[in-house]
Structure formats: structure tokens, C-alpha cells
């Protein structure tokens, strides 16, 4: 399947220099990033700790691009308002993070933000059908969440293709994002399978030329 839909690149701040976050955010926007992907990890839902809403808020003034907040925390519900207030434009969460995904997505929308559901590599696509009228984004994890720099799990390509079909059939305007191990090589496979937002940490922040890295991911 080839695609003519616009491809958006969302660099993951997890791979940036944490001692220079404000400069990194400004630099990545100047380099052509479409969104900034912010990975929130609690050391409980995933075996790593990153940063919280106060860091998101501090970074908000350093860029105009949408802030795409990927919550890897459980429970997530008590923190949704804090991330909305901090400047998130889109908040996505995992079904496994709480007992009432439908309610969590309603809450994000009620806060005036775009909402996303995230599928781990072993999470089936069926959950998306139950909430398709409540999501602006579906995120396919192509690594197990928790760390940058992992290898792309190729079995997730067929999941991306299945979800592309579900989204088209729904008639809704829903972004299809992929996150984990995205490189200039795997990006082509993701786009061919139907993804239209690519998250990349190492493949962008791990290079010395952010603009070239972002351009390379667009294919």
C-alpha cells in the first residue's frame, strides 16, 4: 500500500540532552519537526522514570509545535488535568494503565485536548474499535515501552495495516502513529503499512544534523 497522505515527524525528547532541554526543543522545531513527542514514565507502568508535567510546562514556551504527550503511567487519570494544564495538545494512554479507558479518553476530550490510545506490541487491535469515536490518534508501539534505542519489532507492521483499514472504514480523522525503533529504513515500512506520524528518538537526537535526520524519515 503506498500513501499520499502527509507524513508528520514527532521527535521523542527522551533521546535529547536532558541538561539542555529548552535548547533541544527549539532546535528540533527549527529543524522541521511537526510535533514534539514527550514520553512520561513512572517507574511502575514501565521500568524507567522520565519527567512530569512541570517539565512539560517549562518547555511549552520554547516551541509552537503541538506537544504530543505519551503517558506510560498507572494510574493515568489523576494526572490528565495536570498535563493538559502544562500545555499538552494531545494526550495518549495505554488501555492497561487503568480500568476505564473509555472514561479516560472522555476526560481528555473534556479537558479540550486531543486523545490517543496506545497499543503495546502484545495488545490486540480490537480495543480500538470500542473507542474509535473517542480518539484522534492511535499509537502502535513497535518496541516494548520504557526505553529508547530498542530494535523495531516487525510484527507490528501488519497491526499498522489493520488499523489503517479500521480508520479508513470509520470515516473519522484519526492519526496513525508508530513509536519505537523508527529509523530511515523502518520508517519506509511504517509509511507503506499506513502510518502517518512517526516518532523517533535516537534516529533524530542521536545525530548531529537534526534537519537531515527528520528529512530522511519522511522518505
DSSP state of 146: T
- Determine if residue 216 is labeled as part of a ligand binding site: no
User: How many Cα atoms sit within 13 Å of 117 on the Cβ side?
Assistant: 26
Cell 479516560 found at: 104
Q: Which of 70, 113, 159, 164 binds Zn ion (CB under 5 A)?
A: 70
CA distances from 199 to 106, 144, 179, 187, 217 (A): 25, 14, 5, 9, 10
Residue 169 CB, nearest approach to ligand DX5 (Å)? 27
95 binds ligand DX5 (CB under 6 A): no
The residues in 189-218 that bind ligand DX5, with binding defined as CB under 6 A, are: 199-203
Is 34 a residue of the active site?
Answer: no
Helix (H, G, I), strand (E, B) or coil at 139: strand
39 binds Zn ion (CB under 5 A): yes
Give the length of the chain.
219
Nearer to ligand DX5, 4 or 29 (CB): 29
Catalytic site residue from 39, 42, 68, 77 = 39
The residues in 9-38 that bind ligand DX5, with binding defined as CB under 6 A, are: 12, 14-15, 37
Is 39 a residue of the active site?
Answer: yes
CA distances from 143 to 19, 25, 70 (A): 26, 24, 14
**Cβ pair 90, 137 in contact under 8 A:** yes
Catalytic site residue from 34, 136, 179, 196 = 179
- Determine if residue 147 is labeled as part of a ligand binding site: yes
180 binds ligand DX5 (CB under 6 A): yes
Residue 158 CB, nearest approach to Zn ion (Å)? 21
* Adjacent-strand bridge partners of 69: 38, 91
Whole-angstrom Cα distance, residue 18 to residue 4?
36
Nearer to ligand DX5, 7 or 170 (CB): 7
> How many residues belong to the site for Zn ion (CB under 5 A)?
3
179 binds Zn ion (CB under 5 A): yes
Helix (H) or strand (E) run with residue 175 in it: strand 175-179
**Cβ pair 60, 84 in contact under 8 A:** no
The contact set with Zn ion (CB under 5 A) reads: 39, 70, 179
The contact set with ligand DX5 (CB under 6 A) reads: 12, 14-15, 37, 39, 70, 143, 145-146, 148-150, 179-182, 199-203
- Enzyme catalytic residues: 39, 179
Amino acid at each position: 500500500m503506498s500513501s499520499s497522505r502527509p507524513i508528520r515527524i514527532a521527535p521523542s525528547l527522551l533521546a535529547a540532552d536532558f541538561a539542555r532541554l529548552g535548547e533541544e526543543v527549539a532546535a528540533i522545531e527549527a529543524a522541521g519537526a511537526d510535533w514534539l513527542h514527550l514520553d512520561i514514565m513512572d517507574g511502575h507502568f514501565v521500568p524507567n522514570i522520565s519527567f512530569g508535567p512541570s517539565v512539560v510546562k517549562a518547555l511549552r514556551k520554547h516551541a509552537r509545535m503541538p506537544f504530543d504527550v505519551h503517558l506510560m503511567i498507572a494510574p493515568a487519570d489523576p494526572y490528565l488535568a495536570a498535563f493538559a494544564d502544562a500545555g499538552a495538545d494531545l494526550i495518549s494512554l495505554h488501555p492497561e494503565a487503568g480500568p476505564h479507558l473509555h472514561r479516560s479518553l472522555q476526560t481528555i476530550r473534556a479537558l479540550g485536548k486531543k486523545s490517543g490510545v496506545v497499543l503495546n506490541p502484545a495488545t490486540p487491535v480490537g480495543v480500538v474499535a470500542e473507542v474509535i469515536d473517542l480518539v484522534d490518534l492511535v499509537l502502535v508501539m513497535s518496541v516494548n515501552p520504557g526505553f529508547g534505542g530498542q530494535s523495531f519489532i516487525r510484527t507490528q507492521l501488519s497491526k499498522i495495516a489493520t488499523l489503517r483499514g479500521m480508520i479508513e472504514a470509520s470515516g473519522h480523522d484519526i492519526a496513525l502513529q508508530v513509536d519505537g525503533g523508527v529509523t530511515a529504513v523502518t520508517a519506509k515500512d511504517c509509511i507503506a503499512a499506513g502510518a502517518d506520524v512517526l516518532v523517533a528518538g535516537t534516529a533524530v537526537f542521536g545525530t548531529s544534523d537534526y534537519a537531515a535526520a527528520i528529512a530522511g524519515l519522511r522518505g
